[in-house]
Amino acid sequence: MVSKSKVSQLMRKEYRDFWLFISPWLIGFIAFSAGPIVAAIFISLTEWNILTSPKWIGLENFINLFRDKVFYTALINTAYYTAGSVTLGTILALIVAILLNQHLKGITIFRTLYFLPSVTAGVAVTILWLWIYNPEFGLANYFLSLVGIKGPQWLFDTRWALPALIIMSLWGIGSNMMIFLAALQNVPQELLEAAEIDGANIWRRFWHITIPMISPTIFLVLVMSTIGAFQTFMQPYVMTRGGPGNATMLYGLYIYFNAFQWWKMGYASALSWIMFIIVFVLTLIQFKLSKSWVYYETSEGR
C-alpha cells in the first residue's frame, strides 16, 4: 500500500517536472505561434493601418484579393520560382551527392567547396549576385560571351529576372547535397553487391535499389525545400524589390509590402492566411503522393 502510493507520488512528480521542463516552449508556442495564428484570422477580417483602430469589414479582404491582379502575379511567380528551384535544386543536389559519394583522394575538400555557399546565404552574398548579374560587367554575361552568347539583361529583363533568382538558388544546394550524401552512405552495400552479382548494371542498381532506399530522404528534402522556397523573401527584396514590373514579386514579398510599406495589416493577414493554406495543401499533397513512391523499410525501424 505504502509503496504503491509512493509510486504514484513519484509519477505525479515526474508529470509535474515534465510540464516544468517543457514550459518554455509551451509558453512560447502560445505566445509566438498559436496566439498569433488565431489573431491573424481576426486581423484578416479588418481594415487596419495600426495607427487608427481596426475597422471590421468581414470577408471584404478576401473578396478584394480575388480581384487583385498583383495577387495572381505573385502567386504565379511563386509557383514558377518554387517549381523551378525545388525541382532543379533537388536533382542537382542528388547528382552532386552521387559524384561526391565516390572513394577518391581529397573528396572531403570538394565536399566543403560545394557545401560552403549554402552556409553563407545572407545579404552579403545576395549583393554579390547582384554584381554577378550586372548586364555589362558581371561575371554571368562575361562567361556567356566567352562561348559567343550575348547574355540577357538578367534582373532588368522581365523574362530573365525570375530565372536569375532560380539559378542563384542552385548555388545553395549544399545542405541538401549533404543530406543526400548521408542517405547514400546508409544504403546497405551488400544489397548493391548482391544485385551486381545477379547481373544488374549500374543504372538498374541505381534505379531499383539506391533510389528506393533513399526515397524517404528525397521526400523530406522536397517537402522542406518547397516550404522554404515558397517563403523566399530576402533575395527579391534586396535585389529587385519585386521588379522589373512585378516580374520578381514573390508572395512573401507582396505580404511584406502590404503590411510594412502600405500598412494594410488586414489585407496582408488575408494574404498570409492564403499562403498558409497553400503551403498546408501542398505538404498534404506531397504526403499523399509519397505513398506511391516512398519506400519505408519495414520492422527494425529506428
Partner 1 sequence: MKIEMKSRKFFISILRTVILYLVIGIGAFIFTLPFLWMISTSLKPEYDIFVLPPKWIPNPPLWENYPKGWSILPFNLFLKNTLIIVVNNLIGNLISCSLVAYGFARLRHPLRDTLFMLLISTMMIPYSVTMIPLFILYNKLGWINTFKPLMVPPWFGYPFFIFLLRQFFMGLPKELDEAAKIDGCSNWRIYWNIILPLSKPALATVAIFSFLGNWNDFLGPLIYLSSQEKYTIAIGLNLFRGQYFTYMGYMMAVSVLTVLPVIVIFLLAQQYFIRGIVMGGLKG
78 touches partner 1 by CB under 8 A = no
**Minimal distance in Å, beta carbon 5 to partner 1?**
18
Name the amino acid, one letter, at 265.
M
Task: Identify which range of 58-66, 171-179, 190-198, 288-296 contacts partner 1 by CB under 8 A.
Answer: 171-179
Distance, CA of 226 to CA of 86 (rounded, Å): 6
**Minimal distance in Å, beta carbon 120 to partner 1?**
5
- The x, y and z cell numbers of residue 166, run together, are 532560380
Q: Of 238, 222, 223, 248, whose CA–CA distance to 76 is shortest?
A: 248
71 touches partner 1 by CB under 8 A = no
Q: Note whether 275 and 255 are within 8 A (CB).
A: yes
110 touches partner 1 by CB under 8 A = yes
**Minimal distance in Å, beta carbon 97 to partner 1?**
11
Listing DSSP states for 205-249 in one string gives HIIIIIHHHHHHHHHHHHHHHHHHHHT--HHHHHHTTT-STTTT-
Distance, CA of 165 to CA of 247 (rounded, Å): 11
- Residue linked to cell 517537402: 223
Residues comprising the chain, all counted: 302
Residues 268-287 that bind partner 1 (CB under 8 A): 268-269, 271-273, 275-276, 279-280, 283
Residues 174-203 that bind partner 1 (CB under 8 A): 175-176, 178-179, 182-183, 186
62 touches partner 1 by CB under 8 A = no
Closest to partner 1 by CB, 111 vs 160, is 111
Distance, CA of 172 to CA of 177 (rounded, Å): 9
- The x, y and z cell numbers of residue 133, run together, are 548579374
Task: Identify which range of 55-63, 115-123, 191-199, 286-294 contacts partner 1 by CB under 8 A.
Answer: 115-123
- Residue linked to cell 554577378: 132
Residues 11-50 that bind partner 1 (CB under 8 A): 11, 14-15, 17-22, 24-29, 31-33, 35-37, 39-40, 43, 50
**Minimal distance in Å, beta carbon 56 to partner 1?**
16
Closest to partner 1 by CB, 221 vs 247, is 221
213 touches partner 1 by CB under 8 A = no
Closest to partner 1 by CB, 183 vs 247, is 183
48 membership: H or E segment, kind and range:
none
Total interface residues for partner 1 by CB under 8 A: 91
